[in-house]
Structure 1
């Protein structure tokens, strides 16, 4: 078997793309999107009918230009999610506008709206994960939503503090980033590379995975943001891994042996269970320069791509 086929025997593989052709090719169990991926996908021919439908929907809803842009991009994300779900057996993650990352109530309201839109086109709530940035406010929003039966994917997660807070809040799933952590440490250390077992992103996810399993948290750990297949191989056995098409192809083309690294039965070096209040959380984030910088950078990038996506929608609407 290829390494990809071996990986699928121990980990749920998720496609990190909005490209419908790529999803159809790789047939992952789940798929995840974000504003950056939707922005790239918007240039693909398969998305043009969805863009037209989203614009028409927003115009029929009425409201200000800003409100209509929000309506259109929400509906586009939901239509894309529906198309993706036609190709996979599992769930799709749809992201809340990153500009709401520090507003708990607005995040809750947007999540409810996205779920209602999915429901309006016949997609059941249990097939959708609402993707929320792992700020203190986002984690609190997820705590409320989970109690309502709306499952959440806490993203832009770079630190143990974020992970611990998400688990205590009862989040369904977290997406701890690997590659972006590596990026920061390469720049900070001046190194050109880390060996895969010592990759700082790999070590971070391993620590989180072991902590969750040792303390019997139900929260799913889904490693994300990979730079190379070595990182993926070092996390073989993680609950889920979300992987780009390029790295899926590399794993598919590799016939080598893939040993299982992570397992609930082989947990060691476990942190004591912690319960963080807001002051604890903010202090630990303040002490972690990498997590603070990468979280802020990630929110800015997703927000910028959301704005660019709205501009793309506006241009198409004006040209119609």
Structure 2
């Protein structure tokens, strides 16, 4: 009798599966290759028993510091971010994606400085740079920061990808990985009454398939990692994509389903013909002509920044307690 194979197991044969969570127990249970941390997840960690020792240690450190309270709060936030990431790094064979402050998204020099600092902080905790991915919003300034960091051997995950020219600029900058947001693209169209009739007409799925095909055709090494999924159908429609970062809820559903999971994406022939590289003017024009991409990029940065402010506010409250 043949043992049923779950869709999650089948997916792992086609794509690298990443957990879109910093939930320690979920990562232990689901065993993804990579995982992520960000201000929202660190804020949640403040109430999880597994992180209690780390939280108390860093809060105690913060209470001993003199000087500007805001600077101390920011430093504690960074220490907690890296501390959570270091714990998660011990659970996965791959990497921990760590988000640079969203309020630096339009500042190349500050983004580079913060990324270097995170890498150094991880190293102090015994986590080498090849276990870390620095997550940066894919603004023009963020992409230029990634160009510098990649040249230094610091791998970057350029996130909030919604536009083909934006994705292309990331690959030309040598980014290790990009994260096109499948679900957020769909959300924008559904909000305007444009619900797709089938999964193959889902605009987020169509976008990632096109980016993947374009990268493979041009021989780019940049990894395409589909992100922000709303359903297992979206995940299944991108089976074969380099990587897929999936929430624990959807991972559980895929693990419980033993139906067939065919490959949907595969690299084709490479055609490295010379094409003019994306410059700042072309990048700006492409985003300006794409209201979905420009709105979702700006909105994503604003949401990430709000999450960071919420984390800092909670830390300030705990330090004062």
Give the TM-score band, short-chain normalised. over 0.9
Shift of residue 40, structure 1, vs aligned partner: 2.7
1:209 aligns with 2:212: yes
What is the TM-score with the length of structure 2 in the denominator?
0.95
Give the Cα–Cα distance (whole angstroms) in 2 for the partners of residues 252 and 234 of structure 1. Answer: 16
1:43 aligns with 2:47: yes
Q: Is the Cα contact below 8 Å between 1:153 and 1:175 reproduced in 2?
A: yes
Give the Cα–Cα distance (whole angstroms) in 2 for the partners of residues 271 and 44 of structure 1. Answer: 52
Q: Partner of 1:261 in structure 2?
A: 264
2:254 to 216, 239, 251: 251
Q: Is the Cα contact below 8 Å between 2:217 and 2:269 reproduced in 1?
A: no
User: Superposed, which structure 2 residues align to 1:99-178 within 5 Å?
Assistant: 99-178=103-182
Shift of residue 64, structure 1, vs aligned partner: 1.2
Q: Partner of 2:95 in structure 1?
A: 91
Give the secondary structure class of the aligned counterpart of 2:14.
coil
Q: Partner of 2:28 in structure 1?
A: 24
1:185 to 180, 186, 189: 189
Superposed CA deviations along residues 66-107 of structure 1, whole A, max 9, x for unmatched, are 111111111111111111111111100000000000000000
Give the Cα–Cα distance (whole angstroms) in 2 for the partners of residues 48 and 206 of structure 1. Answer: 42
Residue segments in structure 2 that go unaligned for 5+ positions in a row: none
What is the TM-score with the length of structure 1 in the denominator?
0.95
Give the Cα–Cα distance (whole angstroms) in 1 for the partners of residues 319 and 223 of structure 2. Answer: 40
Q: Is the Cα contact below 8 Å between 2:150 and 2:156 reproduced in 1?
A: yes
Give the Cα–Cα distance (whole angstroms) in 2 for the partners of residues 194 and 79 of structure 1. Answer: 45
Give the secondary structure class of the aligned counterpart of 1:265.
coil
Shift of residue 33, structure 1, vs aligned partner: 2.2
Give the secondary structure class of the aligned counterpart of 1:150.
coil
Residue segments in structure 1 that go unaligned for 5+ positions in a row: none
1:55 to 56, 59, 64: 59
Q: Partner of 1:226 in structure 2?
A: 229
Give the Cα–Cα distance (whole angstroms) in 1 for the partners of residues 132 and 203 of structure 2. Answer: 30
CA 1:220 to 1:274, structure 2 compared with 1: closer, same or farther past 3 Å?
farther
Give the Cα–Cα distance (whole angstroms) in 1 for the partners of residues 66 and 120 of structure 2. Answer: 18
Superposed CA deviations along residues 252-276 of structure 1, whole A, max 9, x for unmatched, are 01110000010113899x9994511
Q: Is the Cα contact below 8 Å between 2:219 and 2:270 reproduced in 1?
A: no
Q: Partner of 2:83 in structure 1?
A: 79
CA 1:262 to 1:62, structure 2 compared with 1: closer, same or farther past 3 Å?
farther
Shift of residue 297, structure 1, vs aligned partner: 0.6
Q: Is the Cα contact below 8 Å between 1:215 and 1:273 reproduced in 2?
A: no
Q: Partner of 2:243 in structure 1?
A: 240
Q: Partner of 1:275 in structure 2?
A: 277
Give the Cα–Cα distance (whole angstroms) in 2 for the partners of residues 248 and 150 of structure 1. Answer: 29
CA-based RMSD of the aligned residues comes to 1.8
Give the Cα–Cα distance (whole angstroms) in 2 for the partners of residues 244 and 8 of structure 1. Answer: 15
Shift of residue 62, structure 1, vs aligned partner: 4.3
Give the secondary structure class of the aligned counterpart of 2:268.
helix
Give the Cα–Cα distance (whole angstroms) in 2 for the partners of residues 198 and 154 of structure 1. Answer: 25
Give the Cα–Cα distance (whole angstroms) in 1 for the partners of residues 275 and 64 of structure 2. Answer: 51
Q: Partner of 1:295 in structure 2?
A: 297
Q: Is the Cα contact below 8 Å between 1:32 and 1:93 reproduced in 2?
A: yes
